[in-house]
């Protein structure tokens, strides 16, 4: 399959409801319309990834195993809906650690783009916070930031009807 786009999503309050220190699979609650958007993107030859800050790991409130269990449940739920999650990266550091991967720094985004190894992809980062938009802008790659609200589907049309689709790539 020839991929046209890479769309990276923030996780909490972008795809699923933000539950502080999410530990239980039963607490994964998809925001309205998100699975439909992801399905439509999948049908448009899009690589879908997640980049998420998870300082609860660094704080000792969430184990790596618990995070991996939640991530696997998200992958499984997506697969059950015909959606393939290409990549998932997380920053486990606390804000004061000043690492290069915690958004608003672009480390997570850069890592995903590097792994994709494709210069012809149109790249988006979708998030609900200013720090998400700052990470997209700070990336050494050309990434279009799309800020959305947890309760709205506004902004997704920019990705679904992007220039890659308009050019008929």
Catalytic member of 10, 27, 120, 132: 10
Residue among 12, 27, 120, 130 flagged as catalytic: 12
Active site residue 10: yes
Tokens representing 85 are 């999650």
| Closest CA relative to residue 9, chosen from 67, 88, 62 | 88
Profile the chain (169 residues) by mean pLDDT over runs of 10 residues: 91 96 93 96 95 96 95 98 97 95 97 90 96 97 94 88 50
Residues 7 and 90: their CA atoms lie apart, in Å, by: 16
Distance CA 159, CA 169 (A): 14
- Supply the pLDDT for residue 24: 92
Q: Provide the token pair at 32.
A: 């309205």
Q: Which of 21, 27, 24, 76 is nearest to 54 (CA)?
A: 21
> What pLDDT shows up at residue 91?
98
Please confirm, yes or no, whether 132 is among the known catalytic residues.
Answer: no
What structural domains and CATH numbers belong to the chain?
A: 5-148 (3.40.50.1000)
Tell me the pTM.
Answer: 0.93
User: How much is the pLDDT for 163?
Assistant: 59
């Amino acid at each position: 399959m020839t991929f046209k786009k890479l769309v990276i999503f923030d996780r909490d309050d972008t795809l699923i409801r933000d539950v502080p220190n999410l530990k239980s699979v039963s607490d994964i609650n998809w925001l309205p319309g998100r699975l439909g958007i992801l399905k439509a993107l999948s049908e448009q030859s899009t690589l879908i990834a997640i980049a998420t800050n998870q300082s609860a790991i660094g704080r000792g409130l969430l184990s790596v195993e618990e995070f991996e269990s939640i991530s696997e449940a998200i992958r499984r739920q997506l697969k059950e809906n015909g959606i393939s999650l290409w990549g998932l990266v997380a920053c486990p550091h606390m804000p004061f650690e000043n690492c290069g991967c915690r958004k608003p720094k672009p480390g997570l985004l850069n890592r995903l783009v590097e792994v994709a190894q494709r210069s012809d992809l149109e790249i988006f980062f979708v998030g609900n916070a200013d720090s998400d938009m700052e990470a997209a802008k700070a990336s050494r790659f050309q990434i279009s930031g799309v800020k959305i609200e947890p309760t709205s589907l506004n902004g997704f049309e920019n990705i679904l009807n992007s220039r890659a689709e308009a050019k008929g790539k």
